[in-house]
Chains A and B, each alone.
Chain A
Amino acid sequence: QSAPTQPRSVSGSPGQSVTISCTGTSSDIGAYNYVSWYQQHPGKAPKLIIHDVSKRPSGVPDRFSGSKSGNTASLTISGLQADDEADYYCCSYAGTYTWVFGGGTKLTVL
């Protein structure tokens, strides 16, 4: 299993929107609607922000949204805030009770 591909970094100004892509294969992202996204601040544990491609857990602002097309999932963050600066990881179920994380994307809020 190889890790889904994410851009190493993205950036945006406060108030703007950014989209982070996550490209996998027909064996993981393309095969299941089980894509989740995690936000990780430096030195902290990851936090679930999107599950099942586009669902937000309770307490996660609707500025965070997810989608999927084919083998590529995307996370969009609108109305960027300073606290959104963090690393973001996609994760896909890959069948037979295995999971794969993307390589991670560092978001910089300019």
Chain B
Amino acid sequence: QEHLVESGGGVVRPGRSLTLSCAASGFTFGAYGMHWVRQAPGQGLEWVAVISYDESNKYYADSVKGRFTISRDNSKNTLNLQMNNLRAEDTGVYFCARETLVGARDFDSWGQGTLVTVSS
């Protein structure tokens, strides 16, 4: 059974940095594209970033482009999100999610999320 566990959330001041991690288990991590999706408090879901199975392709939402960097370590079954120059509007729960299969355009497995609060 696939399992995703996010970590690294916390309270951070505007302009500072934070790195989130997602530990994967129960499936062949290196065979799947992976995403980050976030949810501001009381709000809807927002797609953030995607990384291909082999790290060759990375794409970002306009709202985070140039500030966030997605990466992965297939040897450690870990997905990361480096977040720089954080803003108040980056506050929310960050979920990692797995693409259903190579070439799929949906997400069949999600972690429980980690909360990031950007506040002075």
- Interface residue tally on A, bucketed by range: 20 to 34
Q: What sequence of 0s and 1s flags, for each residue 81-120 of chain B, a beta carbon within 8 Å of any chain A beta carbon?
A: 0000000000000010100100011111011110000000
| Chain B interface residue number, banded | 20 to 34
B105: chain A residues at CB < 8 Å are: 32, 34, 36, 51-52, 93, 99
Q: Does B28 contact A (CB under 8 A)?
A: no
Contact call B104/A51, Cβ cutoff below 8 A: yes
B95 to A36, Cβ gap below 8 A? no
Residue of B at shortest CB range from A94? B47
- How far apart sit A87 and B42, CA to CA, in the bound complex (Å)? 11
Contact between B59 and A48, CB atoms less than 8 A apart: no
Chain B residues in 8 Å Cβ range of A46 = 37, 45, 95, 97, 107, 110
A-B contact count (CB 8 A): 67
Contact call B107/A89, Cβ cutoff below 8 A: no
- Residues on B with beta carbons closer than 8 Å to the beta carbon of A87: 44
A36, B45: Cβ atoms closer than 8 Å: no
Q: Return the CB mask of B43-60 against A: 1 if under 8 Å, else 0.
A: 011110010000001010
Q: Which 10 A-B pairs have the closest CB atoms?
A: A34-B105, A36-B106, A45-B110, A97-B59, A104-B44, A51-B106, A93-B105, A99-B47, A101-B45, A103-B44
Given A32-B105, A101-B44, 13 other A-B residues pairs in contact with their CB atoms under 8 A: A1-B61, A36-B105, A38-B45, A38-B107, A45-B95, A45-B112, A45-B113, A57-B108, A91-B47, A98-B61, A101-B47, A102-B44, A103-B44
Can you spell out 6 A-B residue pairs with CB atoms less than 8 angstroms apart?
A: A36-B105, A45-B95, A48-B108, A51-B106, A101-B47, A103-B44
